[in-house]
């Protein structure tokens, strides 16, 4: 069966993000960082953040992963750059519902990441798609805990 034109467009956007990921690299001044892996596929992603007054001032990722995990990490950094912790966590929730096929409206805030909704049809790839987002969620909640302890 031939791919629809829309599928081809989606595939192209995913390929662009995985071949030329946005915000790829490391941050010397990172305030928070985390390393995540998805053993099922072999994806490893390192995430670094600069959190200032509860806002994501900068975010970078590095590591090696499949096209879906790399594209998703790239899209995630794009979506959450400049967000407050709360806004970013809301996006993480929205994205994980999306890739489970549970949400399909109001996804504009996710930017290019909304394209990954198609992953819901491939359960084995959901963990690839959510890896960076789950990592962000973990890094932000750890940062929040540290703040509460101060």
Binding site for Zn ion (CB under 5 A): 41, 43, 66, 69, 128
Residue (of 108, 27, 10) closest to 62 by Cα position = 27
Q: Least Å distance between CB 136 and Zn ion?
A: 17
Q: Least Å distance between CB 104 and Zn ion?
A: 23
For Zn ion, which is the closer residue by CB, 30 or 44?
Answer: 44
For Zn ion, which is the closer residue by CB, 41 or 90?
Answer: 41
Q: Which two tokens stand for residue 5?
A: 């034109």
For Zn ion, which is the closer residue by CB, 128 or 136?
Answer: 128
Contact criterion met (CB below 8 Å) for 81 and 56: yes
Question: For residue 64, what are the contacts with CB-CB under 8 A and spacing of at least 6?
Answer: 42, 43, 44
For Zn ion, which is the closer residue by CB, 43 or 137?
Answer: 43
Q: Least Å distance between CB 127 and Zn ion?
A: 7
Q: Least Å distance between CB 147 and Zn ion?
A: 32
């Amino acid at each position: 069966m031939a791919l629809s034109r829309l599928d081809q467009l989606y595939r192209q956007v995913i390929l662009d993000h995985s071949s030329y990921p946005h915000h790829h690299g490391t941050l010397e001044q990172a305030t928070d960082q985390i390393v995540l892996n998805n053993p099922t596929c072999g994806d490893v992603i390192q995430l670094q953040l600069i959190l200032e007054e509860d806002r994501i001032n900068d975010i970078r990722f590095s590591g090696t992963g499949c096209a879906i995990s790399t594209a998703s990490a790239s899209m995630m950094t794009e979506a959450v750059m400049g967000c407050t912790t709360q806004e970013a966590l809301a996006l993480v929730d929205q994205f994980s519902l999306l890739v489970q096929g549970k949400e399909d409206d109001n996804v504009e805030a996710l930017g290019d990441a909304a394209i990954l909704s198609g992953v819901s049809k491939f359960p084995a790839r959901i963990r690839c798609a959510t890896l960076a987002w789950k990592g962000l969620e973990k890094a932000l909640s750890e940062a929040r805990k540290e703040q509460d302890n101060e």
